[in-house]
């Protein structure tokens, strides 16, 4: 690979935004026929580098050479014309149009009298077949396909222009394991045909599975370029976060937390056969004070639905729920809050944070709601609480007046956590608190959760990453096809054990 000349050669790239140097003298090379992973924590400059390459941002300093020619792209269209195609995290296609149109929109073959629809279909079928996606009907409407298939169609569109360089920006963030494999097989097909692929992902397993080479960025600077085979995962993580395995040591510490003795304590929350028509059923769980209950299961297995039942966001119509020993029906989130239950949604943008308000305003929301709107929390208390939680949770920037939307995903999540912590709940339900945030912040949040449980708080922890569920939880409730199938105490349970339960082959 390294013998050939690079298709993309970026040298000394610097880009500054008001007050920040987003990129500082970064070099980046991309060779034909390789999958090159671009790694770094949030804010390391990955997206800025991609945007420089695709013509979204102008470069302040440095040169970009594509296929031997100096380039300075002014628009994404110019970059596209030079053979650089990008598939973004959110599918950028038109859901109302057919698959074939989405692949060829703007480049439809024409004849006298308009678009040559038969050729549109032929060309779409050609490119789909090349990517081994022949099973997709080119005439079907895009919105009838899953996000994963839409993503593959977006790649098909990118390849239809004979792209030499394909940039995949977090393509797997909304895909499940099977779909990721399907995507990877397409990526490998393209690589073998000599396409240079730039792959950005938060999932290190995937990076190791699919990439040949990696470039690591940190704080807008280049850390280095490595062959994937030469850099073990621990080494990569320490290069990304810039600390020698500190974070990992912290994790070990989290793991050594004493498990509470179940028999001695009274359960805080007990559900027996809890369910709701059309949602989930058979949820039978017990959460003691100081215990972490992990909910495991595939996407769509009913994890979030269970959380919503426990919080009263959906009303249960089957089974029994008792809190602190007395039977309760939770009709609204408000009645759950009154019983000291807090819920942090997986959807932090839509069901959590108010992005135009400051960190302090967001922090204070739940507390203020609990007190009632006519009894305003005094400004001095607000400031004091904000400062306290910014410090204990290490929220950055440490500025209580910063707007939430300017914070990184990990810090937004911490603010959301802090909001509920202020209300001093006895049970905290966390739905995907670590999704889409970088590894440093993830470790911090895991540690925090563990610490809260040690302090006596009950926690229901939901995550798509089984590894994380296993590491944190005392008990694991396994959900499958919208009902609970198992309740496993976490003493020496392995991922394989849980996966066997989920697969339903064992047990």
Please report, as ranges, the residues that interact with other proteins according to CB under 8 A: 76-77, 80, 88, 91-98, 101, 105-106, 108, 110, 113-115, 135-137, 139-141, 143-146, 148, 157, 172, 175-180, 203, 205-206, 296-300, 464-468, 495, 499, 502
Query: Element (H or E) spanning 321, and its range?
Result: strand 318-323
Residue carrying structure tokens 């007046």: 401
> Shortest CA distance to 46 belongs to which of 200, 268, 232, 211?
200
- What's the min distance (Å) between Cβ of 237 and other proteins? 14
- Cα–Cα separations (whole angstroms), residue 458 to 99, 115, 311, 321, 446: 48, 62, 14, 16, 14
The residue (of 174 and 324) whose beta carbon lies closer to other proteins is 174
- What's the min distance (Å) between Cβ of 315 and other proteins? 22
The CA distance from 232 to 240, in Å, is 12
Residue carrying structure tokens 């006298």: 112
Residue carrying structure tokens 């296993």: 470
The residue (of 148 and 407) whose beta carbon lies closer to other proteins is 148
- What's the min distance (Å) between Cβ of 253 and other proteins? 21
The residue (of 187 and 395) whose beta carbon lies closer to other proteins is 187
The residue (of 264 and 350) whose beta carbon lies closer to other proteins is 350
- What's the min distance (Å) between Cβ of 463 and other proteins? 9
The residue (of 158 and 216) whose beta carbon lies closer to other proteins is 158
- What's the min distance (Å) between Cβ of 457 and other proteins? 26
Q: Which residues pair with 478 in a beta bridge?
A: 296, 486
- What's the min distance (Å) between Cβ of 335 and other proteins? 30
Query: Taking CA 296 as the corner, what is the angle to CA 347 and CA 269, rounded to the nearest 5 degrees?
Result: 85
The residue (of 300 and 506) whose beta carbon lies closer to other proteins is 300
- What's the min distance (Å) between Cβ of 135 and other proteins? 7
Q: How far is CA 390 from the centre of its chain?
A: 23
Neighbours of 45 (CB within 10 A): 25
Peptide bond into 397 cis (omega under 30): yes
The CA distance from 26 to 5, in Å, is 19
The residue (of 108 and 212) whose beta carbon lies closer to other proteins is 108
- What's the min distance (Å) between Cβ of 169 and other proteins? 12
- What's the min distance (Å) between Cβ of 398 and other proteins? 32
For residues 35 and 210, the answer to whether their CB atoms sit within 8 Å is yes
- What's the min distance (Å) between Cβ of 264 and other proteins? 33
Residue carrying structure tokens 């050729």: 119
Contacts of 380 (CB under 8 A, 6+ apart): none
Query: Which strand ranges, in their side-by-side order, compose the sheet holding 8-17?
Result: 20-30, 8-17, 61-66, 69-71
> Shortest CA distance to 318 belongs to which of 284, 273, 270?
273
The residue (of 34 and 101) whose beta carbon lies closer to other proteins is 101
- What's the min distance (Å) between Cβ of 459 and other proteins? 20
The residue (of 148 and 385) whose beta carbon lies closer to other proteins is 148
Contacts of 101 (CB under 8 A, 6+ apart): 94, 108, 120
The residue (of 380 and 505) whose beta carbon lies closer to other proteins is 505
The residue (of 175 and 386) whose beta carbon lies closer to other proteins is 175
- What is the 3-class SS of 102-149, one letter each residue? HHHCCCCCEECCEECHHHHHHHHHHHHHHCCCCCCCCCCEHHHCCHHH
DSSP class per residue in 427-461: EEEEESTTTT--HHHHHHHHHHHHHHHHTT-EEEE
Produce one character per residue of 260-269: b if its CB has 16 or more CB atoms within 10 Å, e if not. beeeeeebbb
The residue (of 114 and 455) whose beta carbon lies closer to other proteins is 114
- What's the min distance (Å) between Cβ of 495 and other proteins? 7
């Amino acid at each position: 690979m390294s013998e050939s000349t690079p298709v993309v050669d970026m040298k000394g790239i610097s880009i500054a935004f008001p007050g920040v140097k987003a990129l500082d003298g970064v070099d980046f090379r991309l060779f034909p026929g390789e999958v090159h992973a671009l790694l770094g924590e949030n804010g390391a400059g990955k997206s800025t580098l991609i945007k420089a390459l695709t013509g979204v941002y102008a470069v302040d300093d440095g040169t970009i050479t594509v296929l031997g020619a100096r380039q300075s792209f002014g628009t994404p269209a110019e970059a596209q014309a030079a053979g650089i195609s990008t598939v973004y995290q959110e599918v950028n296609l038109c859901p109302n149009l057919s698959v074939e149109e989405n692949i060829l929109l703007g480049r439809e073959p024409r004849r006298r009298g308009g678009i040559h629809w038969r050729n549109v279909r032929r060309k779409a079928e050609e490119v789909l077949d090349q990517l081994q996606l022949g099973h997709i009907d080119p005439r079907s409407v895009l919105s009838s396909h899953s996000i994963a298939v839409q993503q593959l169609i977006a790649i098909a569109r990118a390849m239809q222009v004979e792209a030499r360089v394909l940039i995949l920006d977090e393509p797997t963030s909304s895909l499940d394991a099977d779909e990721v494999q399907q995507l990877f097989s397409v990526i490998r097909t393209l690589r073998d045909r000599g396409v240079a692929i730039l792959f950005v992902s938060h999932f290190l397993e995937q990076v190791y599975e699919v990439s040949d080479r990696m470039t690591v960025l940190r704080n807008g600077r280049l850390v280095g370029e490595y062959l994937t085979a030469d850099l073990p995962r621990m080494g990569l993580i320490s290069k990304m976060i810039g600390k020698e395995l500190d974070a990992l040591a912290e994790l070990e510490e989290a793991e050594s937390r004493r498990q509470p003795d179940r028999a001695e304590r009274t359960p805080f929350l007990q559900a027996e056969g809890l369910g709701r028509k059309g949602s989930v059923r058979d949820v039978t769980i017990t959460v003691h004070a100081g215990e972490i209950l992990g909910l495991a299961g595939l996407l769509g297995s009913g994890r979030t639905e269970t959380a919503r039942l426990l919080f009263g966001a959906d009303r249960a119509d089957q089974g029994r729920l008792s809190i602190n020993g007395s039977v309760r029906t939770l009709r609204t989130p408000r009645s759950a809050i009154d019983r000291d239950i807090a819920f942090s949604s997986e959807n932090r943008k839509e069901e959590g944070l108010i992005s135009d308000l400051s960190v302090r305003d967001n922090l204070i929301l739940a507390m203020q709601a609990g007190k009632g709107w006519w009894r305003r929390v005094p400004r001095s208390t607000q400031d004091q609480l904000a400062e306290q939680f910014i410090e204990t949770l290490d929220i950055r920037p440490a500025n209580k007046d910063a707007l939430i939307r300017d914070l990184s995903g990990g810090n937004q999540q911490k603010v959301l956590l802090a909001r509920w912590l202020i209300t001093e709940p006895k049970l905290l339900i966390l739905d995907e608190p670590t999704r889409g945030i970088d590894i440093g912040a993830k470790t911090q949040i895991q540690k925090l959760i563990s610490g809260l449980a040690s302090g006596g708080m009950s926690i229901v922890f939901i995550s798509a990453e089984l590894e994380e569920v296993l590491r944190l939880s005392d008990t694991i409730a396994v959900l499958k096809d919208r009902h609970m199938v198992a309740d496993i105490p976490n003493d020496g349970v392995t991922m394989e054990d849980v996966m066997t339960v989920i697969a339903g082959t064992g047990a």
